[in-house]
Amino acid sequence: MNQEITPKRKTKYKAAGGLMVTALFFASLNLRPAISSISPVLEIIRSDLGMNASVASLLTSIPVLCMGFFSPISVRIGRRLGIERVITWSLVLLSVSTLLRIVTHSAFFLLLTALLAGIGIAAMGPLLSGFIKRHFASNIPMMIAVYSMALSLGAALGSSLSAPLQFRVHSWQTTLAFWAVLAIAAVPIWFRVVTRGIDTPMDSATISQSSKLPWGNKKVWLLTVHFGLMAMVFYSLMAWLPPIMESLGYSRLYAGNLLTIFAIVQIPSGLVLQFLLKRYPSRLLWLLAASFLQLIGLILIFCSILPWLAAVLCGFGSGMLFALGTLLPIDAASSPQEAASWAAMTQSGGYIIGALGPILIGWINDLAYQFRLAILGLIIITLMLMTVQVLIIPRKVKKSFETTM
């Protein structure tokens, strides 16, 4: 994977630095709106298309499943064809699939757009990490902060503006299709990156060596289960928080605002976690603390007490858990190559497990005609998550967060 960097290429990288930071921001901005824009208008969609809760849950679960199944394939394709080219065409696919929602008049067609958008997101997501490692090796923590903030901002925009936009245009199709503007804006930026000739495919021997996943490693399976349980709660709330709060008697606008709070508080969570780990580098302490915040938030939702505080606690806890879940494979691995393969397996399997969350919420709602049992299930999953955290963290972890980044 180490390629010789000539002085000419170094000059090209320096000149393109601002372009690549902008490209990273705009691409990361597109990883969540196709998912987060669904929930605020989900009840309108269900009523218009006659979808039950189980089928409606697929609008969120399908993209997450794609992130699980297609991420390893996208990494391999990116190494062969060039990371930047694959990201560019992923944005094109995301633009087209999101725009198609404006002509959607059936559940099947809407699910098809979710599949196409999911493939675009799955192909792009893991490659952005490779893009950061390749072009910003000396400034990885800052670029990860840019990536995380843009990702959270995209989720917040999709969740906060969809309900007001639908109220204004009186069309959920137009509301969902509107989010194509973010991908359309990113495409010319990435075409510019490609035309600068920055991306270089890898040789087949390197691809084969770096594509192996540690299927027989028990520690990696624990990390995968941990990521999956974390993702189950996160995507369940992303998909169903507004309908859950509406069922508890809150207005559609208020319920949509709670999802916005849930997304926004995740933006600074990574930076706060970095500060906390510098002061006290125990992974287990902050994993349990983040899970406890999420647990308290879910209990507040179950009891219908202080919904805004519940959204803050769940959002901040989820944000910290995502950052820690990404960090754990790097901590446990003994080499950069091993860390890459561990992270690929952890996230691939984890997203597949996580996709079950929204589906189970919808299934339980169809059976019980209420969400309280589903919320109780999320509480149980969080308790299971805390149990797994105790199992996967070694007794003494002395590496600092900054070093492992």
- Position 202 scores a pLDDT of 46
- Position 4 scores a pLDDT of 47
- Position 110 scores a pLDDT of 94
Report yes or no on whether pTM surpasses 0.85.
Answer: no
Residue by residue, DSSP assigns 165-231 as HHHHHS-HHHHHHHTHHHHHHHHHHHHHHHHTT---PPPHHHHHHHT---TT-HHHHHHHHHHHHHH
Domains detected in the chain: 12-211 (1.20.1250.20), 214-395 (1.20.1250.20)
- Position 212 scores a pLDDT of 62
Q: Are 301 and 375 in contact (CB under 8 A)?
A: yes
CA 384 – CA 25 distance, rounded (Å): 34
Q: Are 243 and 372 in contact (CB under 8 A)?
A: no
- Position 340 scores a pLDDT of 58
Q: Per-residue pLDDT for the chain (405 aa), expressed as one digit of tens each?
A: 444 445 555 555 455 578 888 999 999 999 989 988 998 888 899 989 998 888 888 998 898 888 888 877 877 787 788 888 889 999 999 999 999 999 999 999 999 999 999 999 988 877 887 777 777 767 766 777 777 788 888 888 888 888 889 989 999 999 999 999 999 999 999 998 888 765 555 444 444 444 566 777 788 888 899 999 999 999 999 888 888 988 888 887 888 889 889 988 888 887 787 788 778 878 888 899 999 999 999 999 999 899 999 999 999 999 889 878 877 776 666 654 566 567 678 878 888 998 898 888 888 888 888 888 889 999 999 999 999 999 887 555 444 434 444
- Position 6 scores a pLDDT of 52
